[in-house]
Structure 1
Amino acid sequence: MLLESNSFLRNMLLGLLRDAGANDVMVAKRSDTALNQIAERTPSVIIADWHTNATPDEDRLKLVRTIRESDGAPFRDTPIVLISQPRVRREIEHARDVGVSEFLITPIAPVTLQNRLRSLDEKPRDFVSSSRFNGPDRRRRARRAEGPVHKRTADVSAGLTTPMAAARAAAVALAHETQLTGDRLAIRVGRSLQRFITTVSEYTPVEAEVVEMHRAALAQLLRMAEEGNPLREPVVTGLEQVVAKRMGRG
């Protein structure tokens, strides 16, 4: 699937894809058309433009999120490649966190496109689905250190740490992540989680539920921001009230 709103670039990219061996390419110039086409026939890869001045209806990150959150859809885990002019690191990381698989920076050399498509085919990444993220596994680098793989859930199962310690480490990481966004509401969510997890003395399914509520709130805030929904603060206020009650202060 090739989604490109500019007719000149669309024809150029179509030629590059055919030169790379893609003989059956679905083409669209609008997001709604692309969605309809991939719903009828799942492509092996989706390649889309990522223009800075796109209208809300043509926001490619919104399209990516729609695809990634389409539970049960056969196209949900399809690799998605965005083509764009050079972007700052924060924009790239945000797109990755929405579920983009790869990026291509214009101008594109034919060999670059061919190598990227080959990599997607030969080295597919696992699809991750959670309250905050749906998309290809964002971890790319192979571990160089010997010993057990240090992932919080795996560490708990292996007896390398306790559920409480793992939860606190995750809360610190999430608080740091929200600070980097610069979004004051996201920052409030991160601080709320950190306050909660440092107050409780044990990590049971009850505490795990509160942690998951924070992650779900962050995902909701992000979706609302992308949709231009201004009523984001009640989401955070409601979360803080629930947490206060759980901590015995409400």
Structure 2
Amino acid sequence: MKLDNTISAVITGGASGLGEATARALAAKGVKVAVFDLNEQKGEAVAQELGGVFCKVNVTDEASVDAGFEKARAAIGQERILVNCAGTGNAIKTASRSKEDGSIKHFPLDAFNAIIQINLVGTFRCIAKSAAGMLSLDPTEDGDRGVIINTASVAAEDGQIGQAAYSASKGGVVGMTLPIARDLMGEAIRVNTILPGIFNTPLLAAAPQNVKDALSASVPFPKRLGNPPEYASLALTMIENGYFNGEDVRLDGGIRMAPR
């Protein structure tokens, strides 16, 4: 897909981190962007700077997602690109014993479900609604009607201790990529997923420097955290390369996560 000012894009989680970097990279190509996020202050600032539109969206709420797409399409037109970056995680063992008193507890199911709802169901909700909108468009000159990029994680393949919910949610994103690509292949809509490793995002911003140094040292090469523009670069490659479809690609400096 050729990227220019005739193309519109929706980026979930677009107010910061990987989503913000992708919104900026798309806007630099002339693409009109809609930033979906819960952070109004940051989201409005990013959208205004890029000449786009901000939509306050909770991906776990159907009415909120519907309202977001309605607002975005009214402002910049029907999107041909969807990049799903909205997500979160937690770290809770499946079952554990307290070191203080020996009491036993298990992973609260509501906490498990919350991660699934945001990372997996929320991603699919946006995919389904965006794809339905893309079907109303004619294909571009290069044959694409639309492109969808999802964000999983290396935890989908080598999740660490305490990451049962997170790994399950991201594994689900990986698992649904090819079936969705097959669902949409007859409609000229391509679907791919990126599995980032350890990236320098707001999630790590508050971490002590020694923690960041240790994480950087665990990456085979280059020995550093990933930078959000590197994610954005791969997302744009997946969008612009018309033969990229149904793929799940790790972007991780060669890391394979240890148990902890």
* More strand as a share of residues: 2
Q: Could you say which structure has the larger radius of gyration?
A: 1
The answer to which structure has the higher helix fraction is 1
Regarding TM over 0.5, the answer is: no
TM range (shorter): 0.3 to 0.5
Instruction: Report the TM-score when normalising by structure 1.
Output: 0.38
